[in-house]
């Protein structure tokens, strides 16, 4: 049976010894980007608190029974955030963290975009704009479950998102929540220089959604927003994030989208993350 | 008595099935096919998502991933061109039990023009791993196809038409197996869909008058293809013709040519829509006639193949 998680993500180091879970998740992400294929570094780092809040504080899921019928659904529609999802699923207990070292290697089930072979992954994503239509279906199948969709802000340029959003509101699917990873960047630059999304909150309201905004790296704010329910209306949480959050040299930079870290870059990144963790705990 | 159009036969059977099977959902995209239908106790399982085909397929996938069996309604060209990525990534990749009911296939949208014709859908959908692809040749076969599709583990593409077509007066079909309509070894003619199959039967009559016994094989299931039966018929005849309401490229003709070239190289003449969009206005029968998907053309092609001459303009 699925139960809400009671794990905490702040506080002193856990039995694993390296610090709160978001610090460990960031280290996992960096390690996967130091593998043979590299990884989507920036857009995974911006997701860390969003995914951690969901999987440790909000979702009714059971790592021992990923297919439990009464579970909540979480779809990473911005599938290129896969390495963040893998790190969170591993820390949450869906599979051993040791498997993360196989990312992108021959024979691994951890691909650059998530597939259903990985315990905890609901649907294969990677082509943008698919998550919300899927969530509409999951939501219709069982009104008692909550269905979360994590989208990127660049992803909102895909029309299929809005096609689905009209449907969510039109069908009154108030068990659907979208979280926008609003990091302001896409491959070719700032979203607002490419296809402006603002006024984003107004757009969602115009489509019939209730809007909440939150600092996307503040788990208390995220928890408050993600547990909001509005009868008869779906909810969108616009989470203001920083692409590459955690690594000052990478933060808010287009170059952080995809990175293959060499040995020295990897060592430096880990050192930066651990220094930050130490400053927080002292 | 003329049987109902295949899509009406499908509609009526689905409503009946939904009454007794709570897994079944009917997803609509403003097609109008279900106007006036009383779903009774199943009313909450009829959902119209409006004119939104990507959303339609995504919703179907989400329902199917939750243990439901959705029948999805749209026009064939919208299902396979507009919503192809959802078919590929959301449905086919996960092997979900979605039944895509694709109406207005081939030229059946007639005078509505090329934006509504579906001459590419078989080529597209048979490329997707795991899809069962069926083109029933009449209303009865449509009902049989639906009944046999309900519990198939993976996705199904059911290719239907628009207006009523004659009953075939053939026995029941079995998905995955061809249906032999005429026996013969003079030429093996393979077809799918109401008008192509009827044209082949007419061609067989014309050829019989010339002393040639044509085998007519109804290949209602394009995928998985009944390769054994196709190879056997082609080997017996030595020459083959394929007939479909589809571009000549990649549909039934492509599938048969692929199979035969691999297992029993045979000269195959593909009859279908030539490499053009419909440039004339007209109803389905007019277009079929104009573009040469007729019994007369099939018979002439057979004679050319058997005679070994290269005079038929349909052959290179």
Instruction: Select the residue from A68, A121, A137 to test the B interface by mutation, using most B Cβ atoms within 10 A.
Output: A137
Burial of B3 (0-12, 13-18, 19+ CB in 10 A): middle
How close B63 gets to chain A, by Cα (Å)?
5
Phi-psi region of B152 (alpha: psi -120 to 50; beta: other; left: phi over 0): beta
Per residue of chain A (282 residues), what is the pLDDT tens digit?
Answer: 565 554 433 333 232 333 499 999 999 999 999 999 999 999 999 999 999 999 999 999 999 999 999 999 999 999 999 999 999 999 999 999 999 999 999 999 999 999 999 999 999 999 999 999 999 999 999 999 999 999 999 999 999 999 999 999 999 999 999 999 999 999 999 999 999 999 999 999 999 999 999 999 999 999 999 999 999 999 999 999 999 999 999 999 999 999 999 999 999 999 999 999 998 877
Q: Which residues contact B137 (CB under 8 A, 6 or more apart)?
A: B165, B168, B170, B192, B193, B194, B197, B198, B218, B220
- Residue A49's Cβ-side half-sphere holds a number of Cα atoms within 13 Å equal to 26
Do the Cβ atoms of B27 and B73 come closer than 8 Å? yes
Q: How far is B228 from chain A (nearest CA, A)?
A: 34
Cα–Cα distance measured from residue B195 to residue B137, given in angstroms and rounded to the nearest whole number: 8
CB within 8 Å of B219: residues ≥ 6 apart: B178, B190, B191, B192, B225, B226, B230, B252, B256
**CB-nearest partner of A160 from B50, B54, B62:** B54
Q: Does the pTM exceed 0.90?
A: yes
Q: Are strands B239-247 and B267-273 parallel, antiparallel or unpaired?
A: parallel
Q: Tell me the pLDDT band of B2, cut-offs 50, 70 and 90.
A: confident
| SS3 state of residue B272 | strand
The answer to whether the Cβ–Cβ distance between B68 and A141 falls below 8 Å is yes
Q: Is the peptide bond before A199 cis (omega within 30 degrees of 0)?
A: yes
Using CB atoms, which residue from B54, B70, B94 is nearest to A163? B54
Smallest Cα distance from B61 to chain A, Å = 6
pLDDT tens sequence across B116-152: 999 999 999 999 999 999 999 999 999 999 999 999 9
Q: Which two tokens stand for residue B198?
A: 């009827």
Position B122 scores a pLDDT of 98
* Residue in chain B nearest A170 by alpha carbon: B49
The answer to whether the beta carbons of residues A227 and A58 sit under 8 Å apart is yes
For the four alpha carbons of A97, A101, A102 and A104, in that order, the dihedral sign comes to positive
Chain B residues touching residue A66 (CB < 8 angstroms): none
A171–B55 CB contact, under 8 Å: no
| Chain A residues near residue B50 by CB distance under 8 angstroms | 166-167, 170
Q: What is the pLDDT of residue B280?
A: 94
Flag if A167 and B54 touch (Cβ within 8 Å): no
Which residues share a beta bridge with A138? none
Query: In the structure encoding, which two tokens stand for residue A21, read together?
Result: 């879970």
Alpha-carbon distance of A4 to A61, in angstroms, equals 7
Distance (Å) from the alpha carbon of A139 to chain B's nearest alpha carbon: 8
Give me the residue from A126, A127, A133 closest to B55, CB to CB.
A133
DSSP string, B79-112: IIIITHHIIIIIIITTT---EEEEES-BTTTGGG
Burial of B210 (0-12, 13-18, 19+ CB in 10 A): exposed
CA distance A257 to B295: 60
Minimum distance, in Å, between the CA of residue B49 and any CA atom of chain A: 6
> Is B37 strand, coil or helix?
coil
The residue of A74, A125, A133 whose CB has the most chain B CBs within 10 angstroms, and thus the best one to mutate to test that interface, is A133
Q: Which residue of A has its CA nearest to B67?
A: A141
Q: Given B62, B86, B90, which is nearest A141 (Cβ)?
A: B62
User: Minimal Cα–Cα distance from B40 to chain A, Å?
Assistant: 19
Pairing between β-strand A60-61 and β-strand A3-4 as defined by DSSP bridges: antiparallel
Instruction: Please report residues of A whose CB lies closer than 8 A to that of B63.
Output: 137-138, 140-141
> Are the CB atoms for B248 and B273 separated by under 8 Å?
yes
Instruction: Please identify which residue in the block is written with the tokens 């959050």.
Output: A245
Question: In chain B, which residue's Cα lies nearest the Cα of A141?
Answer: B63
Question: Min CA distance, B129 vs chain A (Å)?
Answer: 15
Copy the structure tokens of residue B43.
């009313």
**In degrees rounded to 5, what are phi and psi of residue B11?**
-55, -50
How many C-beta neighbours within 10 Å does residue A37 have? Answer: 13
Chain B residues whose C-beta is within 8 A of a chain A C-beta are 47, 49-50, 52, 54-68, 70, 85-86, 89-90, 93-94
Distance linking the first and last C-alpha atoms of chain B? 42
Rounded to 5 degrees, φ, ψ at B240 are -140, 150
Using CB atoms, pick whichever of B54, B62, B93 lies closest to residue A137: B62
Q: How many angstroms separate the most distant Cα atoms in chain B?
A: 63
CA distance A167 to B81: 21
- Are the Cβ atoms of A166 and B60 closer than 8 angstroms? no
CB contact under 8 A, A167 and B59: yes
Q: What is the pLDDT of residue B92?
A: 98
Name the residue in chain A with its Cα closest to that of B23: A141
Of A45, A37, A58, residue with least CA distance to A85: A45
* Chain A / chain B CB contacts < 8 angstroms: 88
Residue whose tokens read 């109803």: B283
Ranges assigned E (strand) in chain A: 3-4, 60-61, 73-76, 147-152, 176-182, 185-186, 189-190, 210-215, 235-240
């Amino acid at each position: 049976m699925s139960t809400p998680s009671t794990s905490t993500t702040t506080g002193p180091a856990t039995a694993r010894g390296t610090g709160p879970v978001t610090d460990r998740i960031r280290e996992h992400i960096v390690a996967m980007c130091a593998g043979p294929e590299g990884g989507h570094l920036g857009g995974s780092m911006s997701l860390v608190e969003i995914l951690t809040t969901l999987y440790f504080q909000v979702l009714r899921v059971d790592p021992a029974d990923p297919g439990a019928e009464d579970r909540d659904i979480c779809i990473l529609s911005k599938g290129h955030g896969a390495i963040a999802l893998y790190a969170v699923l591993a820390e949450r207990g869906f599979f051993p963290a040791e498997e993360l070292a196989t990312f992108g290697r021959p024979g691994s089930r951890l691909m650059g975009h998530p597939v259903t072979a990985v315990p905890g992954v609901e649907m294969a994503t990677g082509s943008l704009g698919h998550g919300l239509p899927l969530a509409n279906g999951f939501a219709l199948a069982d009104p008692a479950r909550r269905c979360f969709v994590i989208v990127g802000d660049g992803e909102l340029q895909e029309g299929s998102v809005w096609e689905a959003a009209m449907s969510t509101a039109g069908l009154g699917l108030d068990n659907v929540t979208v979280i926008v990873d609003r990091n302001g960047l896409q491959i070719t630059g700032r979203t607002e220089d490419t296809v402006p999304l603002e006024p984003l909150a107004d757009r969602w309201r115009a489509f019939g959604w209730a809007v909440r905004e939150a600092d996307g790296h503040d788990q208390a704010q995220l928890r408050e927003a993600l547990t909001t329910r509005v009868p008869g209306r779906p909810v969108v949480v616009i989470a203001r994030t920083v692409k590459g959050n955690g690594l000052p040299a990478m933060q808010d930079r287009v170059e952080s989208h995809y990175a293959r870290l060499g040995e020295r870059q990897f060592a430096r990144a880990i050192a930066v993350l651990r220094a930050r963790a130490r400053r927080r705990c002292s | 008595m003329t049987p109902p159009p295949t899509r009406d036969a499908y509609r009526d059977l689905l409503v009946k099935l939904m009454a007794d099977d709570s897994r079944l959902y009917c997803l609509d995209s403003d097609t109008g096919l279900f106007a006036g239908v009383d779903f009774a106790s199943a009313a909450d399982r009829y959902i119209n998502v409006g004119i939104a085909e990507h959303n339609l397929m995504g919703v179907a996938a989400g329902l199917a991933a939750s243990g439901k069996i959705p029948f999805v309604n749209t026009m064939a060209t919208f299902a396979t061109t507009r919503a192809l990525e959802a078919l590929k990534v959301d449905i086919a990749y996960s092997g979900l039990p979605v039944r895509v009911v694709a109406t207005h296939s081939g030229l059946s949208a007639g005078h509505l023009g090329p934006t509504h014709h579906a001459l590419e859908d078989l080529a597209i959908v048979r490329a997707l791993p795991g899809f069962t692809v069926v083109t029933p040749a009449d209303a009865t076969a449509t009902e049989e196809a639906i009944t046999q599709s309900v519990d198939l583990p993976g996705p199904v593409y059911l290719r239907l038409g628009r207006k009523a077509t004659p009953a075939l007066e053939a026995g029941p079909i079995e998905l995955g197996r061809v249906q032999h309509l005429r026996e013969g070894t003079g030429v093996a003619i393979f077809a799918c869909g109401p008008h192509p199959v009827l044209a082949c039967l007419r061609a067989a009559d014309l050829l019989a008058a010339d002393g040639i016994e044509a085998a007519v094989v109804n290949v209602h299931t394009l995928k998985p293809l009944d390769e054994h039966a196709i190879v056997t018929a082609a080997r017996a005849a030595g020459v083959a013709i394929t007939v479909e309401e589809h571009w000549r490229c990649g549909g039934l003709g492509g599938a048969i040519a692929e199979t035969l070239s691999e297992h029993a190289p045979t000269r195959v003449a593909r009859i279908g829509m030539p490499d053009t969009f419909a440039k004339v206005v007209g109803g389905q029968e007019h277009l079929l006639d104009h573009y040469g998907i007729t019994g007369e053309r099939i018979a002439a092609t057979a004679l050319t193949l058997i005679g070994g001459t290269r005079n038929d303009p349909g052959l290179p």
